[in-house]
Amino acid sequence: MREEEISFIADSANIIVCGYAFTKREDGFISILNLQHPDSAMVINNKGEIIETNMEKIEQKIVMDLCKRNLQFMEAEYA
């Protein structure tokens, strides 16, 4: 992924936490991208369940912990 694409994703993200960009999509899912390693991504639903990912299990655990602590801030943005 090119630097410009990563910058666009970062600028478009609802929140960025610990180098992960969280972006709410039109279909209600949340896309999560590791900005340091943009080949590492995850999609979750609004219940916090993993829909798809190519992350290793340990990174999935880290990202899901970040979700639990920070998704409330995304919801506040839409309130």
What 8-state DSSP symbol labels residue 18?
Answer: T
Could you state, in order of their start, the residue ranges of all structural domains in the chain? 3-78
* pLDDT classification of 79: cutoffs 50, 70, 90: very low
> What's the average model confidence in pLDDT over 34-62?
96
Question: Residue ranges of the alpha helices (H) in the chain?
Answer: 3-12, 57-78
pLDDT tops 60 at residue 78? no
Task: Output the average pLDDT for the chain.
Answer: 92
* pLDDT classification of 51: cutoffs 50, 70, 90: very high
Q: Residue 13: which residues within 8 A CB-CB, separation 6 or more?
A: 21, 22, 23
The token duo for 28 is: 């209600």
How far apart CA 36 and CA 28 sit, in angstroms, is: 25
> How confident is the model over 64-75, as pLDDT tens digits?
999 999 988 876
